[in-house]
Each structure stands twice: as structure tokens, then as C-alpha cells.
Structure 1
Amino acid sequence: MTLRPLPFEREIHDLEERLESLDAQQDPTPEKLEAIKNMRAEIVRLRREVFENLDPWQIVQVARHENRPQTLDYLDLVFDEFIELHGDRAYGDDRAIVTGMARIDGRKVMFVGQHKGRHLKERTLHNYGMPHPEGYRKAIQKMQMAAKYNLPIVTFIDTAGAYPGIGSEERGISYQIAYNLREMSRLPTPIVSVVISEGGSGGALGIGVGNHVCMMQYAYYSVISPEGCAGILWKHAKHADKAARALRFTANDLLEFGVIDKTVPEPFGGAHRNHRQAATNLKVEIVQALRQLSGKSPQELIDHRYDRFRKIGIFEEGAVGGSEAVS
């Protein structure tokens, strides 16, 4: 698979092309073998150096990489079995959200995930991962079914946001997301939510009210996209890099703020370079989270989820003579 290099990967990409050319030569001399060995070591060193020091805008570019694994990729690599469930029993089947019964490490779960698509036909089918109200209605119905049968829920978040079109507004997208937030907070079953790439605004939160919320290392989770923020604050999307720094939406930032519980490590160079290793890391995190939550009673799960989200946004503000907590 040929990977399109991101701007900050250009030097790595050039070295990889040179290495590929050397590897293709027949009967290499000892000098060439030594050069190949040194070049491989240099690529590893450079990739580590670059990806350990990505700025927020570079992380956004990694999260949006066209070869990055998406929900359907992870369904094949993380779960042992999956049976899709369609429709919202009211309007239609929104393919931007995929739902179904799954099995992971021998445990039955209900799966809900947003899928963008990789090529034009698939993206059109899945509406670029931007759900309509019927998508969120489908999601909450399947979650309520899971609660009825005492099944844990696993959700994968990957959306720029809910679809903001006229039809979506006419059918009550804001109401449906708000409804999902309320109903998810009341479900008496474990919920594990993972931001696998982009987590945009209420469109992400509509399936993200979990007991355990984690993020892939090079994902981002934000109230607005960098381009949207730049358009509001600086009147032009060209300031997206500045907005990305201001929003503090990377996994490290959100772990520090208590918005997420864990960062799932990605292979060096990002998940788009090694789908299988990224999926293995993600599976380990999901299985561990489900085990930790399995010992809690239904009421403990509800209380835990409530307390977890009530704590978000509490900070200390300096005041004359000391500081006070502000919510």
C-alpha cells in the first residue's frame, strides 16, 4: 500500500524510497548492505523524533490521513464476530452510523460506530461519517436493546460533526443528540467509548457518554474543528493551525484535563502505517476497560458515568486572597 506522505513526513518518505531502491538491487555488496542497515536505523530514529514532537495541527492531519484505519477496518481486526443491525424504525437506515452485535475476547457486546468511508462511493454511502437524526436514533435504540439484555456497549467515534443540512435540521438533529445524551447517561450497562480519529462537537458526543472514554494517540476530540474555530475567531480557515493550538484537543491535553481516561498508543508513524498493530493496542484497551467495569452494579455504572461528566469543566480561578473552584 502506497502511503501519501504528510508535509512533515517528506524527509522520512524520501529515505524510504531510497531504501526501497537499494533493497531492489540484485546481489548487493557488503557496503550496500551496511548502507541499508544504517538507512533503516535512520528512518526509525527520524520517525520517532517527528512523531514524538507533533504539534496539534500535525496531529489533525494524521487523524485525517486517507489510509488511517476506520470503523469497518477495526471491526474486522478488533472483534471476533459482528452482525449488523439496521434502521431506526421511524425514518431510515443512516449508514454514517454502523450498529450491531459483536464479540470481543469471548464477550458479547453491542457495537455503535461512525464510519466515514475511504473512496468517493463509500463516503457518499456513509455521508462522510456525519450522521442525520435517524443515525443517532438508530444508535440509542440499539444501546437500549443492549441494556435490556445486559450487554456492554462499545462505541467508536469518528466524525467531523453531525450533518448540518436542511433535512437534518428539519428532522430534529439537535433534539436527537440531546435525547441521546440523556438516555445514554441512564443506561444501566457498561459503556466504553473510543475516539479513533476525529471527534467533532455534539456529533461525537451523541454516542460518547461512556463510563470509560479513551482516544487513539493521534486523534483529536473538540467542540469545533480547527477550520471552524479559525473562521469564527480570525475570519479565515488559513489560521487553522493557530486554532488547533488554542483548542487544546489532543489526547495528551484531554487526559490532563480529565476529559478522557486513557490514551491508546499507535505504532510509530501513526495507525495508517500499521493497521494491525493499532487494532491490537485498541483491543487490549477495550478488553481491559470492559473487565474493570464488569464488577460494577447497574446503579454504580450510572452514578460513575454521571460523576465522570459532572467533573468536566471544573477549574480553579485565581481570586484576591486565594483561589476558588468554579464550575
Structure 2
Amino acid sequence: MEYLDFELPIKELQEQFEKACQIGEDSDVDVTNTCKQIEKKLIETKKDIYKNLTPWQRVQLSRHPDRPYTMDYINALCGDTFLELHGDRSFKDDKAMVGGLGKIGDQSYMLIGQQKGYNTKTRQYRNFGMANPEGYRKALRLMKSAEKFGLPVVTFIDTPGAYPGLEAEERGQGEAIARNILEMTRLKVPIIVVIIGEGASGGALGIGIGDQVLMLENAWYSVISPENCSSILWRSWEYKEQAADALKLTASDAKKLKVVDSIVKEPLGGAHSDRQATFKFITAAIEKAFSELKDLSPKELVSKRMDKYSDMGVFKS
């Protein structure tokens, strides 16, 4: 397991605990009390560290290499019922954007999300989770199919942004994202958005308009990444921690600003520390959100969704 810089005290205690237990197994020495003391200190240290995380540390957690990605959630939530669908019926199949039909419990959904890779080869294959225009057009095609058959849509957001390459701009990256935002505001079926990791810029907004927007505790959601914000304002990446604080990108900030509707708690140590518990939390959150939306008529869904986003940014002086 990999540890981040601020997690090094946890790493040291974990190694001490494992070493003490190993000594007990390899010899006749009773180390039960020692192991219990180290374990108690380990739990206290974890609670102390994760209770006081800075915005930048949450950004680091959201990028942890062991953190579950979109397909991990889909496979855990749907099992063998998931059927992946491909292509935008215009240019090609974007591997950074995945989607298809699946069941969570007894309810069928159209599931869509950005997928990152697990190693160098798959990261290149998935384009680091940065979708091209055809990815957003594929997502829209699947959402329109869901609308046709009356299926709710669930989207998983985890992207450092839409792909900024020249070829993406030539094929209409901005138009594709704008079109998705427009069409999602008036889609006549429930839309549940789950921010599971990085939620950056238009890359996130392209599949981020929903009736219920859920956000994992250590995910982030912002118009720009802390590094890029720092490079624009200070001409250096050295101020990324200050930028992360100023951007108000954490789940608690997003909830306070009413950008998201609810925060999904993560296990102590982050989503990667106990994947099965994280999957259970997400399943329960999606089912709860759908139960609140399923009885609304298409007209009510669209009206409430439009009102929700129209009210964002409104303030009294």
C-alpha cells in the first residue's frame, strides 16, 4: 500500500504493529499487550490525521493510486448485470468515457463515467481519464437512450479535465460539453451524479448536471485544479496548497455553497483503505437518491432541476 507524505506517521506505526505481531508468531514471547498499545495508538493517529485534513491533502487523497475508479464502482454495484455500450455513432469509441446498462439491486440504470488507468499502459489507453468530444457525445447518446426507455441515469465523475489537445478542439470539445449541459438540464428521467475523485472544470460538468449530486468526502470539485490555478495566478506550481484553500473545492465547501446535495462518508483513511465499505456507502446513497426522485413526473424533474441550477450563484448584497 502506498502512503502519502502526511500519512508517514501511520506508515511507521503500521510497520511497528506488523513487526511486533510477527515477533509474537515467531517466538514464545507474549506481545499481546504491546500489539494492543500500538494498535490503539495507530487508530488514534489515523483519527487525528484524517480529522484535520487540509484542502490540498484531500486533493492528494482523491488522486491516490489505490483509490477505486469508475469501473470498480460499476462492477461492485452491478456485478455481472453490467453491459458496456460503445461509440458515439459519429467518430469513434472514447476509452476515457465508459457507459452502459446495469442493475443496482432490482433497479436498472444507465451508468456513465470517466475511467482512469491503473498503470502506465492503461493510463495511456484511457487517456488519463480525460475525454475527447466523442466521449461526451457517447455519454449523451447513452443518456438519450435511457430517456427513451425510462431508465434513471447515474454518472461517476473522476477527471482532471476534458482533453485539451488540438484535435479535441478541432472536433468541437467546447460544443460537445455545452450540448451535454443543455441536454442534461431537460432530460426527462432522474439523473444522479456521484463525484468519486477529481471533478475538474468542464470535463466534470459535461456529465455533471443532476437532480441529486453526491460527493465522496475526499473528492474535490472545482472550475480548475490547484496546480493550474497556482500557475495562472502566481506563475508557479509552488502555491498549489494556497490555491486549493482559496478555490473552496472540498466536499464540505461544495455542500455549503449548494453545488452538491449530499456528502458520502468514506472509511477512515479514504475510499481506498476499505473499498467494500465505500461501495456499500455509494450503493446506499444512490438508492436513497433514486427513492426521492422516482415518483416525480418528467415535468417536475425538469422543472426542479432547472430551478436548482438557476439558483446557483444568486446572492443578496
Report the TM-score when normalising by structure 2: 0.98
Q: Which residue of 2 aligns with 1:177?
A: 177
Amino acid at match of 1:116: K
Instruction: Give the deviation of 1:219 after TM superposition.
Output: 0.2
Deviates more, 1:21-30 or 1:291-300: 21-30
Aligned equivalent of 1:322: none
The CA deviation string for residues 60-89 of structure 1, in whole angstroms up to 9 with x for no partner, is 000000000111111121224210000000
Match of 1:91 in 2: 91
Amino acid aligned to 2:199? G
- 1:274 deviates by 1.0
Contact kept, 8 Å, 2:68 with 2:272, in 1: the verdict is yes
Aligned equivalent of 2:193: 193
Tell me if 1:12 matches 2:47. no
CA gap of 1:194–1:316, structure 2 versus 1, over 3 A, is same
Q: Which amino acid aligns with 1:15?
A: L
Tell me whether 1:56 sits opposite 2:55 in the alignment.
yes
SS at match of 2:108: strand
Q: Does 1:118 align with 2:98?
A: no
Deviation at 1:312, TM superposition (A): 1.2
| 2:56–2:244 Cα contact (<8 Å) kept | yes
Residue 70 of structure 2: aligned partner? 71
2:96·2:115 contact (CA, 8 Å) conserved in 1?
A: yes
Distance 1:309 1:276 in 2: 33
The one-letter code of the counterpart of 2:111 is F
In structure 2, C-alpha distance between the alignment counterparts of 1:28 and 1:308, rounded to whole Å? 65
Q: Distance in 1 between matches of 2:287 and 2:29?
A: 48
Q: Partners of 2:310 and 2:28 in 1: how far apart?
A: 63
AA partner of residue 45 (structure 1) = E
State yes or no: 1:212 paired with 2:212: yes
| 1:324 aligned residue | none
Distance across 2 between alignment mates of 1:45 and 1:315? 41
Alpha-carbon deviation of 1:218?
0.1
Q: Give me the whole-angstrom Cα distance separating, in 2, the residues matched to 1:24 and 1:315.
A: 60
Shift of 1:29: 3.3
For residues 149-298 of structure 1, the aligned pairs below 5 Å read 149-298=149-298
* C-alpha distance in 2 between matches for 1:220 and 1:315: 23
SS of corresponding position for 1:116:
coil
| Match in the other structure for 2:36 | 37
Q: For residue 229 of structure 2, give the secondary structure of its aligned residue in structure 1.
A: helix
Q: Letter of the 1:158 partner, please give it.
A: D
**In 2: Cα distance, 1:160 partner to 1:169 partner:** 17
| Residues 95 and 125 in structure 2, CA contact (< 8 A), matched pair in contact too | yes
Paired amino acid for 1:47: K
Q: Quote the Cα distance in structure 1 between the aligned partners of 2:74 and 2:33.
A: 41
Return the alpha-carbon distance in structure 2 between the equivalents of residues 28 and 82 of structure 1: 51
Q: Secondary structure at the match of 2:316?
A: strand
Residues 1:302 and 2:302 are matched in the alignment? yes
Secondary structure at 1:316's aligned position in 2? coil
State the 1:28 CA deviation.
Answer: 5.3
Q: Is the 8 A contact 2:156 2:195 kept in 1?
A: yes
SS at match of 1:102: strand
Distance (Å, rounded) in 2 between the aligned partners of 1:28 and 1:94: 59
The letter of the residue matching 1:165 is: G
- Find the aligned partners of 1:91 and 1:133 in 2 and give their Cα distance: 9
Matches of 1:208 and 1:140 in 2, distance apart? 12
Report Cα offsets for 1:82-115 as digits up to 9, x if no partner. 1000000000000100010010011000010101
Per-residue CA shift, 1:288-327, capped at 9, x if unaligned? Answer: 101110010001110111111111112232xxxxxxxxxx
Q: Are the structure 2 counterparts of residues 39 and 173 from structure 1 closer, same or farther at C-alpha, using a change threshold of 3 Å?
A: same
CA distance in 2 between partners of 1:13 and 1:124 (Å): 30
Q: Quote the sequence identity (%).
A: 43
Query: What is the RMSD computed on CA atoms of the aligned residues?
Result: 0.9
8 Å contact from structure 2 (residues 74, 111) kept in 1: no
What does the per-residue CA deviation read over 1:162-213, in whole Å, with 9 as the maximum and x for residues that have no partner?
0000100000000000000001111000000010000000100000100000
The verdict on how the C-alpha distance between 1:190 and 1:28 changes in structure 2, with shifts beyond 3 A counting, is farther
Query: Which residue matches 1:24?
Result: 22
Q: Match for 1:274: what amino acid?
A: D
Paired with 2:315 and 2:279, the residues of 1 have a C-alpha distance of 35
Gaps of 5+ in 2: none
- The aligned amino acid for 2:98 is V
